[in-house]
Structure formats: C-alpha cells, structure tokens
Amino acid sequence: MDALDEVAAWLDGLDAAALRTLLRDAAVRDDGLCQRLRLQARVAAKPGLEALRALLLKSVTWHGYDRSGGGDPRELVGGIEDAVGVLEARIDDGDQALVGLIDEVIVRAEQAIAEIHDSDGIYAAIQALYATHLRACIALRPDEATLGRALLARQLDDGWGFHADPLADYAVALGEKGRAAYWQAVEEAWAALPVLTPDDHALRWDSRRNTLERIMEARVKAGGDVDAAIRTMARNLSGGRRFMALAEFCQAHGRLDEALHWADEGLAAFDPADVRPLVNFTIELLLTRGERERAEALAWERFQRKAGCHTFHELMQVADRVGRRDALRAQAFALLWSAVRAEEGAPAESRYRWADRARDSLLQIHIDEGDADKAWEVFRGGPVSVTLWSRVAELRGCSHPDEAIAVYRRLLPHALEAGRSRSSYAEAAAVVQAIRDLRAAQGQLPMFADELAELRVEWKRKRNFIKLLEAL
C-alpha cells in the first residue's frame, strides 16, 4: 500500500464532521487549497456566467514569483484544472455564451506560459481547456461564421502550438458556413499583407505572417495549380530560405529552369555565407543539370569562404562528380598550407588564444583519410590543437607505438586539467588505458607497470584519478 492509498483508507473511515474539520484546518494552512475550495463552494451555488467569469479568471491568473522566489505554479495549474471541471459541467446548461467565457479563460491562462516551465504541467492544463472549448462548440453550436473567424484569429496569435489545425479539429462545429467564413478571413488577411523583398529581411520573423503564409501556401498547393503556388510563395522573398523553398518547389515539379532562376536570385540577393543551404542546393541542382563548370566554381567559392576539413570533403565530393579530384585537391591543399604559413609567420600575440590552429584542418583531413604518415608529418611540423592529439596517437600507434605513447604522455596533463574542470577524470584514464594497450601489444606490460607507478607518484594529489587507475 502506497502513501496515497494509506491516506485514502484512513479518510474512508472518517465521518462528515471529521472530514469538514480536516479540510478547514488544511485550508487555513494552505492558501492555494483555500482558494480552490472557495471556488468550488461558490460554483456549487450555480452563479450566472458573469459571476462565474470573475471567479474563473481569478483562479487562472498567474501573479508571478514574489521577491523571495515564492509563488507556486502548481497552484495555478490546479486552478486551471478546477476551471476545466467547472466549465465542462456547465456545457449541459445550453448557454452559447459559455464558449466566449472559455475563450477568455484560455487567454488569461496562456499569459502565464512565458514565465512557467512546462514541467509544472501548465501546457497539459491549457490543452485540457482547449479540449473543453471544442466540446462546448460541438454541443452548443455557436454562430458558425463567427466561430470560423475567431478560430483563424486564435491560430494567428497562437505562439505555443495549441491551435495548429482548427479546420480539422472543429469540422463538426464549423459546418460549411464556418469553413467559408474561415477562408474568407484568410483571403482578407492575405490581401492585406505587403509583398516582401530581400530589402525587407528584418520583417521575416513576423509570426502572424508566417502562420498565414503556411495556411495560404498549403491551400494553393493542395489545389494543384503550380503557377498559383509560385506566385503565392513569391510574395515573401525576405530571406534565403524563401528563395530555397521556391527553388525546391519548382524542382519537385520538374521545372528545373525556374528552380535555378530562384536559386540564382537568392544567391544574388544575399551574402552566400549567410545562405549556405541555398548554395548547397544550387551546386546539386547544377550538377543535376550537367552544368559542371558552374557547380565547380560555386563549390570552390564555398570552400574558400570557410576552408577546413568539412568543406574540403564537400569539395572533393563535387570534384569526383566533375572529374577534377586531383586538380581541386591540389588547389585546396595549397590554400590550406598558405593559411598555415600566414598563421605561423605572424606574431604569437596576434592569435586569439582559443582559436583552432591552421594546421588542424590539414591534420583532420589526413586522419579522416587514414594517412598516418601525412598526419604525422603535419603534427610534427608545427602547433595543432590538443583536441586532435589522441586521434594522432591512435593512428600512429598502428605502426609506431613508441611515438604514439610519447604523444599520449604529452596529452595526459591536458586531459587531467580538463578533468578537473569537469569533475571527471574519465578522459585522462582513457589516455592511460591507451598506453597500456600499446604496451600490451608489444609484450611490454612490465614496462607499463613501472610507468603506472610513476604516474601514481606524479599525480597523487588527483585522488579521483588515482582511483580510476586502480582498474588498469
């Protein structure tokens, strides 16, 4: 028997007077419980909707945290849950005005979302309010046209995802008249929207407009008129993603010339560095169309803007498809080595302390390609980031275990320092384990035992680290 079952069993044995006394005493000590009981007491008297409105709006209002951090969100959630029960019970009264009251309660309750974390149950409680609103609309059948317009207004103002598809949810309550009113309101709102160009990029985060665009574009696309869909989507060209959406839509409908037109327009309108997905799409589209020279040029520009390991592999993928791997590989390595020379020839104080090293990209490429000798050459030639040392040692250990062990020994102090800041020495212990594995592969475990003893002495102040070494 759990705690609640035990309490329930005891309560079952109390008479009415004892229960009243118990609840009264609890309400004196708990203001939240007192307010909930007062609400139930007043609701039991079947007040009119205006009186009920005052009671419910008070019960679902969040007054915020006080200066000492007080204010229990669970009390608000309880108030919303009580409101749901009260409103559900009044549906059978048959008063259409109840729908408007539920709307007001929802609006008031939603005002708390920005301050209260979902772990407090606020979303689930408000979802229950929405479910009550739907049941009330089905049962009480408010004016269909008014409901259709109201549902769109709520959908456009919904910043929390409660009202994604009102037409499907409210189909029974809306009827044909309500659906027509909803779409008429959509058309009116759509006609009032200004056409956006790339110069209007600051307006692209308008949530109401974004929602209205999704509604309208989905409707036009469902109608099957591709030209109409393109015209609809082209009313907002305020961001690179809008151009990309148009290009993808045209491509999906076999209109490759138009797809390339919109992609080129987007690249001309925005800095390619800010619209990388559109750059990637355009390169792929050009390859599909067989325009290899343009695809290669765009791929090279993409690499130049942010030369590194990842962009190098992207460049090689394009190089393979245009049959220019050797030439582009040599060109890319020349650019990467020029960056190394520029960095290592500059005064040390001019380099940002936490920045990656120029050699890192070259080293990562050789590691990814499994070229141990080239990786070792780059590693030994100049400074590289500590984060890559373990990968170098792992690759080098296959052919030169002693050199790999030397790298691991250099890495250990850095791993221990990182472990101190993270309160975990697992990484440092893994370095020592890697040394043990290399010694074991060479039949040198006695040598490792001596090294381990030295480590215990050298790092004895790192007690948690020393504990991990006991397992080796």
pLDDT value for 27 = 62
DSSP secondary structure of 361-414: HHHHHHHHTT-HHHHHHHHHHS---GGGHHHHHHHHTTT-HHHHHHHHHHHHHH
Higher-pLDDT residue of 365 and 26 is: 365
Quick check: 275 and 264 in contact, CB under 8 A?
Answer: no
Higher-pLDDT residue of 37 and 334 is: 334
Classify the C-alpha dihedral 102-105-107-109 as positive or negative. negative
Cα–Cα distance measured from residue 357 to residue 377, given in angstroms and rounded to the nearest whole number: 15
Tell me: pLDDT of 353 over 60. Answer: no
Helix (H, G, I), strand (E, B) or coil at 308: coil
Q: 380-423 pLDDT, tens per residue?
A: 999 999 999 999 999 999 999 999 999 999 999 999 988 776 66
Cα–Cα distance measured from residue 336 to residue 312, given in angstroms and rounded to the nearest whole number: 10
Instruction: Tell me the mean pLDDT in the region 442-462.
Output: 93
Instruction: Tell me the mean pLDDT in the region 131-136.
Output: 96
Q: 265-300 pLDDT, tens per residue?
A: 999 999 999 999 999 999 999 999 999 999 999 999
Q: 141-168 pLDDT, tens per residue?
A: 999 999 999 999 999 988 787 877 899 9
Q: What percent of the chain has pLDDT over 70?
A: 91
Q: Which residue has the tokens 């939603």?
A: 110
Average pLDDT, the chain: 90
DSSP alpha helix (H) spans, 165-308: 166-169, 171-191, 207-222, 226-233, 240-252, 256-269, 276-289, 292-305
Cα–Cα distance measured from residue 358 to residue 38, given in angstroms and rounded to the nearest whole number: 70
pLDDT value for 281 = 97
pLDDT value for 120 = 66
Domain boundary assignment for the chain:
11-142, 193-285, 388-472
Name every residue whose Cβ is closer than 8 Å to that of residue 88 and which is 6 or more positions away in sequence. 132, 135
Name every residue whose Cβ is closer than 8 Å to that of residue 278 and which is 6 or more positions away in sequence. 240, 241, 243, 244, 247, 263, 266, 267, 270, 272
Tokens found for residue 435: 């040394």
pLDDT value for 47 = 73
pLDDT value for 33 = 66
Q: 76-120 pLDDT, tens per residue?
A: 888 899 899 989 999 999 999 999 999 999 999 998 887 777 666
pTM, entire model: 0.79
Quick check: 163 and 130 in contact, CB under 8 A?
Answer: yes
Tell me: pLDDT of 66 over 70. Answer: no
Cα–Cα distance measured from residue 261 to residue 253, given in angstroms and rounded to the nearest whole number: 14
pLDDT band at 43 (very low <50, low <70, confident <90, very high): low
Full 3-state SS string of 145-179: HHHHHHHHHHHHHCCCCCCCCHHHHCHHHHHHHHH
Range among 33-47, 60-74, 390-404 rated most confident: 390-404
Higher-pLDDT residue of 193 and 471 is: 193
Higher-pLDDT residue of 50 and 42 is: 50
Q: 193-219 pLDDT, tens per residue?
A: 999 999 988 777 788 999 999 999 999
pLDDT value for 13 = 78
pLDDT value for 313 = 98
Q: Which residue has the tokens 């000590």?
A: 29
pLDDT value for 201 = 82
pLDDT band at 68 (very low <50, low <70, confident <90, very high): very low
Tell me: pLDDT of 69 over 60. Answer: no
Tell me: pLDDT of 30 over 90. Answer: no
